[in-house]
Structure 1
């Protein structure tokens, strides 16, 4: 995701002709987009995306279980 943000910022700076990016060819700005596509393809092909989503879901599930245990546990009386 960070590479996509870098690509968008570079494109914006080139479009506005800011600093040294004013002289850079538009073709060079396609490199970060290509790297982004390659990374997303790799992470989807290896299952990294699904694995991270599953870990996030499991962490939420465990958090929910712990909250319910605390709510249902007998409280100390004064």
Structure 2
């Protein structure tokens, strides 16, 4: 997401001819957007970074839901004892 924001800032600065970005080539201005594309289309699916984060979040929500149901049934708030 940072690459996209940086790319958009560079585009605005280039179009308004502000600062040193005005003298840069369009290739340098659009480079952050290309890096964002590479990240989302190649690196993230290859290593499953977003999928692992989403699965962890889902497991946390599931654990909180189970804890809430146990408390509402009066089974105590503690974890289950292992024998």
**Same topology, TM > 0.5:** yes
Name the TM-score class by shorter chain.
Answer: 0.7 to 0.9
1:73 aligns with 2:74: yes
Superposition CA RMSD, Å: 1.9
**Residue in structure 1 matched with residue 39 of structure 2 by the alignment:** 39
User: Larger % of helix: which?
Assistant: 1
Greater relative contact order, per chain length (Cα 8 Å cut-off, separation 6+):
1
**Residue in structure 2 matched with residue 59 of structure 1 by the alignment:** 60
Q: Distance in 2 between matches of 1:47 and 1:61?
A: 21
| TM-score between the two structures when normalised by the length of structure 1 | 0.77
Q: Distance in 1 between matches of 2:9 and 2:28?
A: 13
Unaligned runs of 5+ in 2: 77-83
**Residue in structure 2 matched with residue 3 of structure 1 by the alignment:** 3
Q: How many residues align?
A: 75
Unaligned runs of 5+ in 1: none
- Stretches of 4+ moved more than 3 A in 1? none
Please say if residues 21 and 29 of structure 2, whose CA atoms lie closer than 8 Å, have aligned partners that are also in contact.
Answer: no
